[in-house]
Amino acid sequence: MPASGVGPSAAERNGSFHVPSQLRMEAELSLRRLMPRLTECWDECGVDEPLRHEFQTRLDTYWGELFVLLYDLYGSRYDFFYHLEQILLTAARAWANRPESLREIDRHRINEPEWFSSERVIGGALYVDLFSENLGRLTESIDYFKELGLTYVHLMPLFAVRPGDNDGGYAISNYRSVDPRLGTIDDLRNLASKLRESGISLVLDFVFNHTSDDHEWAQRAQAGEWEYQQYYYIFPNRDLPDQYERTLREIFPTVRRGNFTWHDAMQQWVWTTFNSFQWDLNYHNPSVFRAMLEEMFFIADTGVDILRLDAVAFIWKRMGTSCENLPEAHKLIQAFNRLARIATPGLVFKSEAIVHPDEVVKYISPNECQISYNPTLMALLWESLATRKVDLLVRSLSHRHRLPTCTAWVNYLRCHDDIGWTFDDADAAALGINAYDHRQFLNRFYTGQFEGSFARGIPFQENLETGDMRIAGTLASLAGLEKAIEENCEVEKELAIKRMLLLQGVTLSIGGIPLIYLGEEWAMLNDYDFIKDPAKAGDTRWVHRPKMRWEFLAELDGGSESQEGSIRKEVFQSLRRMIAVRKSLPPLAGQSMDLIATGNSNVLGFVRFHESHRLIVLANFCERQQSISGNVLRTAGLGRFFEDAISSITYPTSEAISLEPYQIAWLRRV
């Protein structure tokens, strides 16, 4: 992989794509044949010459690759060329109807494909209902985002959903209407443009692996329409499901065993990887690809900057495989990517692949998903916090952090989902760690069952057969604050605060986009009341999805002096400060990061650089003071005196540097 810093090479931008000459000719020929249809479409939509020209330039650049991708996926079908034509026309209409304000952004971003790598980009994620009740009121929170320093806001799915349990919005019944409890499509557009005026990017989900069982397509399938039954994987008996089942894992084993759901009215089995009411879409059918492409463009045009591609690993199935991370899944996303490059070129894809680290990285490229959650870093930060040792984290970072140009990690500690221990077993084995035992240890630690643990997490999807489980809990509860408050122990409260800020400090500085799950800034504790709501009781992830408490804002100005109020104030102000400091440090842009051998297993060290600027980060993962040789700073930072941009303390390199319990320091030369 090329080092980051330089612009994308032609080969990279055009894909490491070898287009066989036979196919290249086919591609050119097909485009020539389709040109009259395109012209007709422009005429119908009343598109002027400059706009046609812009589209054509991009079409010429990407058509060859798009053709090959679609040919690989659907080329053996008799009606391939019909689908190809429809796909081209869908893209053309999307460009024709794209609001001019978004086209303006498209034009900028074509020339600035790394805009999201700036040190000024900071993300936040929230549920509209839990944060501000509805989209209208969310507009009033823009000042709050600005105060905290956010420049990217991910709103959890807000489209129309089925009644009852809807998996936190991930069971969508209509991609073109907003859940009426939250507002309307116009409210969404209005919010998007207000965010844009404030320099904040909007991130929304593209939930394209499945629809809700009450989506119109699913309803028509249930009504017996053959055409719509082909949109899903529906089986008359257990023959095929049983064969598939041999190589599949279970994602939500406490909800339902296996991956298929019996539908009583249809008297058939339906493929449902997640909940029984989330029907997997059948992308072997090109009509599904086309239908979802239209939904994608619709969502993009509401004013979305970044589309979070949900559950990418699962979108293609093949008998005898795990049906995760298949090559065709990548081709599908790449085809969506090329179509976005052609019709909505400012749009960026974010990958949600919570899978083995070797697989996570395969979704990341300018041609596929430009940005991606970094679940490996997330899991290993928690691992380091439990063990107080950074060896496994360092080992993983040493060969897993680097990414291609024009791409970025999204670094987070908590999100709306659980924590799974997705580190590589071989990385662990290289350090003499047995991965299975270690995961058992981490599960016991974070559910507070390991003696001396500070954490108060709860199990998610415990599988008694495999011994597998994941962890739910808020940042604060997992970092020890819940236990410390309960035991009213001052020392532990201080340590818990430091643990939170330590982890935040790493995600803010290690390279990539930091993403805060809103509520973290107030150190919000687990909310056990979800159990009272029947639509939520079966899913322990709700414990870490608390409702925003706006009265906390008043505490900032010295309002409440309660114990917990002062903790919240301290966490909020420290985090806000770190964010502001990050924005003032150009070496924190981009991805390039070199690890430093600190000579101390408790201390993570790395250097970030940008042009002639360098910044050294030291992070102590232990509740005891640690000492690092001054020489480490001198040789990695090339200077004699360093100042911590967080605490403003100066360190001469002639002496050993002493790090307080859980201290993180961002050291620059003075």
Is 272 or 574 the residue whose CB approaches ligand GLC more closely? 272
Backbone angles phi, psi at 269, to 5 degrees: -100, 140
Quick check: 507 and 617 in contact, CB under 8 A? no
Task: Give the CA diameter of the chain.
Answer: 79
Least Å distance, CB 314 to ligand GLC, is: 7
Sheet holding 268-271, edge to edge: 234-235, 268-271, 260-263
| Beta strand pairing call for 268-271 and 234-235 | antiparallel
Q: Tell me if residue 456 falls in helix, strand or coil.
A: coil
Q: Across 319-389, where does the E strand assignment appear?
A: 348-351, 371-373
Does the active-site annotation cover 352? Answer: yes
| Beta strand pairing call for 513-517 and 408-412 | parallel
Quick check: 282 and 210 in contact, CB under 8 A? no
Is 354 or 645 the residue whose CB approaches ligand GLC more closely? 354
Is 417 or 492 the residue whose CB approaches ligand GLC more closely? 417
Token pair 């003499």 is at which residue?
Answer: 432
- Cα–Cα distance, 273 to 261 (Å, whole number): 9
Distance from the Cα of residue 203 to its chain's centroid: 10
Q: Which of 570, 542, 640 is nearest to 165 (CA)?
A: 542
Token pair 């924005």 is at which residue?
Answer: 583
Least Å distance, CB 311 to ligand GLC, is: 4
Quick check: 83 and 71 in contact, CB under 8 A? no
Is 156 or 191 the residue whose CB approaches ligand GLC more closely? 156
Is 152 or 412 the residue whose CB approaches ligand GLC more closely? 412
Q: Which helix (H) or strand (E) holds 262?
A: strand 260-263
Residue ranges binding ligand GLC (CB under 6 A): 167-168, 170, 207, 251, 274, 310-311, 313, 352, 354-355, 416-418, 420
Least Å distance, CB 249 to ligand GLC, is: 9
Q: Classify residue 137 as exposed, middle or buried by CB count within 10 Å of its CB (0-12, 13-18, 19+).
A: middle
Is 305 or 352 the residue whose CB approaches ligand GLC more closely? 352
Quick check: 581 and 666 in contact, CB under 8 A? yes
Least Å distance, CB 2 to ligand GLC, is: 29
Q: How many residues are recorded in the chain?
A: 670
Least Å distance, CB 156 to ligand GLC, is: 8
- Cα–Cα distance, 13 to 338 (Å, whole number): 11
Question: Catalytic pick from 305, 310, 324, 492?
Answer: 310
Least Å distance, CB 540 to ligand GLC, is: 10
- Cα–Cα distance, 422 to 353 (Å, whole number): 11
Least Å distance, CB 167 to ligand GLC, is: 5
Q: Which of 515, 512, 509, 504 is nearest to 668 (CA)?
A: 509
- Structure token digits, residue 49: 């010459």
Q: Which helix (H) or strand (E) holds 203?
A: strand 201-206
Q: Which helix (H) or strand (E) holds 609?
A: strand 603-610
Is 68 or 207 the residue whose CB approaches ligand GLC more closely? 207
Is 8 or 420 the residue whose CB approaches ligand GLC more closely? 420
- Cα–Cα distance, 351 to 373 (Å, whole number): 6
- Cα–Cα distance, 2 to 17 (Å, whole number): 16
Least Å distance, CB 187 to ligand GLC, is: 23
Is 274 or 662 the residue whose CB approaches ligand GLC more closely? 274
Question: Catalytic pick from 106, 167, 324, 352?
Answer: 352
Least Å distance, CB 443 to ligand GLC, is: 15
| Helix, strand, coil percent values for the chain (each to nearest 5) | 45, 15, 40
Does the active-site annotation cover 623? Answer: no
- Structure token digits, residue 545: 């999805």
CB atoms within 10 A of CB 193: 17
Least Å distance, CB 472 to ligand GLC, is: 9
Is 116 or 314 the residue whose CB approaches ligand GLC more closely? 314
Is 70 or 153 the residue whose CB approaches ligand GLC more closely? 153
Q: Across 376-474, where does the E strand assignment appear?
A: 408-412, 458-463, 468-472
Backbone angles phi, psi at 430, to 5 degrees: -60, -20
Q: Classify residue 20 as exposed, middle or buried by CB count within 10 Å of its CB (0-12, 13-18, 19+).
A: exposed
According to DSSP, the residues that pair with 351 across neighbouring strands are 309, 372
Least Å distance, CB 500 to ligand GLC, is: 23
**Which residues are tagged catalytic?**
310, 352
